[in-house]
Structure 1
Amino acid sequence: MVRRVFRLAFIVLTALPLTAFRMPEADAVREKLLYDVRGAFVTARPDVPRELVIATDMLVDEAIRATVRTTVLPRTIIAVRIDRASHMPLLIGSRHEVTVTVQAISVSSGEPIAEGTFRTSIFLLDAAEADRQLAEGIADRIAGEFRLDGQRRPAIASALFP
């Protein structure tokens, strides 16, 4: 019995330092992808609601204006293109989804230096605020990717883990 407790304690004490081990993040790679965003413009296809485009443009511009960089980074302008907006009525409420392509364009050369596509979707009971909610989702994702300081709504995860 004592030997069993000793073995268990030995295993726990041996495994404990291993749980604290963590591979270092590739900060150098992440920092290369960080840009000083100077402006943004939002475009969309004709079938995308105009309110969604306007709200997205306002929220992304607010996040850009609120951001102050202390280090010199490559200056860029981002082009946000809302490729597709759809909604699917459900038994209760509806699901709204957009597909967005974001392109970072160098200010000095005018060449595109990064591009990515993502989807954002929301479920709403009342479709009246769908465009605003989708615009907030798009702006939050862009602000997170480019490390912009926008007025993001706090989530439970950020409240629990500051």
Structure 2
Amino acid sequence: MSSLSVRVAVVFMSWLLLSSFRMTAADQPSEPLLYDVRGAFVTARSDVSPGLIARTDRLVDTAIRSTIRQKALPRTILTVRISEAGYLPLVVGARFRAKVMIEATAVGNGEKIAVGSFTVSTFALDSAHADARLADRIAERIALEFRLQKTGPSTLATALFP
């Protein structure tokens, strides 16, 4: 009876050790592709707030202009489409969200290099501040994905800890 329990314990320990082992996928590149973004064009449907479009365009353009690449990369232009913007009313304020689609187009030949989409959301007490917050979230996500310089408002914390 004790030999059976030893066998079960050995099988269980082997299973634990082998289940913690994970091989990386061979078909995925180790480093994601990086582009030299030269410009961006933000567009949306007619039911999306013009303030959201304008602020997103300004923030993304500022991030592109402040980014300096040290080596030559494929040059691209971004097309940002805010496909949908809506809100969910809550007891206090509302949850605002937007669906965004991005296409990176090569400057040299006009081919689409990359296509992606994401959804952002934020909480705001009124719709006047919702557009600004959604635009900030969209620009942050684009800057993160394309490794652009984030140009947020400077505060005492960013002045002391760059």
What count of residue pairs does the alignment treat as equivalent? 133
1:153 is displaced (CA, Å) by: 6.6
Instruction: Provide the identity percentage.
Output: 53
Give the secondary-structure state (helix, strand or coil) at the position aligned to 2:29. helix
Per-residue Cα deviation, 1:84-142 (whole angstroms, up to 9, x for no partner) = 00011111110100000010000011011100000000011233211010000000000
Secondary structure, aligned partner of 2:91: coil
TM-score by length of 1: 0.75
Opposite residue 33 of structure 2, the aligned amino acid is L
Supply the distance in 2 between the matched residues of 1:128 and 1:134 (Cα, whole angstroms).
11
Aligned to 1:93: 93
The separation in 2 between residues aligned to 1:72 and 1:30, in whole angstroms, is 19
- Whole-angstrom CA distance in 1 between matches of 2:47 and 2:150: 28
Runs of 4+ that moved beyond 3 A: none
**Contact 1:56 1:136 (C-alpha < 8 Å) held by counterparts:** yes
Matches within 5 A, 1:4-43: 29=29, 31-43=31-43
For 1:30 and 1:125, locate their aligned partners in 2 and report how far apart those are by CA, in whole Å: 42
Partner of 1:40: helix, strand, or coil? strand
Structure 1, residues 13-56: CA drift from partner, whole Å, max 9, x if none?
Answer: xxxxxxxxxx99x9x93645110000000000000000000000
- In structure 2, the CA distance between the partners of 1:30 and 1:121, relative to structure 1 (3 Å rule), is farther
Q: Residue type of the partner of 1:72? A: A
Q: Partners in 2 of 1:108 and 1:70 — Cα distance?
A: 20
Q: Residue 130 of structure 2 aligns with which residue?
A: 130
Task: Give the AA of the match of 1:88.
Answer: L
Assess, with a 3 A threshold, how the Cα gap between structure 1 residues 153 and 116 changes in structure 2: closer, same or farther: farther
Where do residues 1-162 of structure 1 align in structure 2 (5 Å cutoff)?
Answer: 29=29, 31-152=31-152
Unaligned 5+ segments in structure 2 are 1-22, 155-161
Measured in 2, the distance between the counterparts of 1:121 and 1:30 equals 30
What secondary structure sits across from 1:29 in the alignment? Answer: coil
Query: Aligned partners of 1:56, 1:30: CA distance in 2, in Å?
Result: 31
Write the distance in 2 (CA, Å) between the matches of 1:152 and 1:44: 24
Q: CA–CA distance in 1 between the matches of 2:52 and 2:46?
A: 12
